Structure 1
Amino acid sequence: MATGATVVRLAAAITLAWTHSVQKSAWQEDWRATSDGLMLAEVRVQGSGAGMEPPEGAVLKGGFYVAHPTLAPQREVILRRSGATADWQVCIAGTCHSMAELVPPDADPVTLTICE
């Protein structure tokens, strides 16, 4: 994860989580670092509405719509932080941290890339 001169090395598998500012529904994405790029392995959406529609093929499990998108590997994933909503949560092996714990609180955008 990088922003400006700040680089934070993360595990090869992370979960990005956030709460929709209007709908107040949780959204979670599992990302894996591979030799081809960043792969989106699974998406979980709690409920639907206000732009939080579950991905195509999602199945309801434990209150979340769960899907396994077929997105091509990504060279980078750019995360924006407006300050008007709760910060991103970055979870590794079940332990979550606010993005502000990892990079400066005013850093925007933050880019996820594969570390060489």
Structure 2
Amino acid sequence: MIALCLGLAGTVWASLPVPAFTLAWTHTIEKVRWEEDYRVTPDGLLLGEARVKGNGAGMEIPADAVLHEGSWHYRRQLPPLQPLRVGRAPEAGDYQLCFAGACHELSEWLGPPSSERPALELWSCAPLSAE
């Protein structure tokens, strides 16, 4: 079995036994929602489809994106990410992890974003064992 690990520099802060998830956030300036779908694989996190509700400063819509139900849908061809690194500052709000039909703030597992931990890494890993 494989899991999604959340942490930094190889230190696991939380482990979720999910095969796939959506990473979602709201752009701090434009207030536009972004979503990226990932599969958790032994080689890393494989990006599938991405969606964005609009464009703005630093938010160019890819040329091959298709507008569907109010969002631009597109795919980027990337190798598996191991890890996927994201910023996580109090001023920017929190990311959401969506899986099994529900979205959850990262703060459910990691506490609120803080200046002491301004970055986060996500990677595929072996699930933490219950002791």
Shared fold per TM-score greater than 0.5: yes
Q: 2: CA distance between counterparts of 1:16 and 1:90?
A: 5
Task: Count residues in correspondence.
Answer: 116
Partner of 1:19: 26
Partner of 1:57: 64
RMSD, aligned α-carbons: 1.5
**Identity %, equivalent residues:** 39
Which of 29, 45, 52 in structure 2 is aligned with 1:45? 52
What is the TM-score when the length of structure 2 is the normalising length?
0.80
Deviation at 1:53, TM superposition (A): 1.6
Within a 5 Å distance, the mapping from 1:20-35 to structure 2 comes to 20-35=27-42
Gaps of 5+ in 1: none
Which of 91, 101, 106 in structure 1 is aligned with 2:108? 101
Does residue 112 (structure 1) correspond to residue 122 (structure 2)? The answer is yes
What is the TM-score when the length of structure 1 is the normalising length?
0.90
Gaps of 5+ in 2: 127-131
Partner of 2:74: 67
Does residue 2 (structure 1) correspond to residue 6 (structure 2)? The answer is yes
Deviation at 1:5, TM superposition (A): 4.8
Q: Which amino acid aligns with 1:58?
A: A
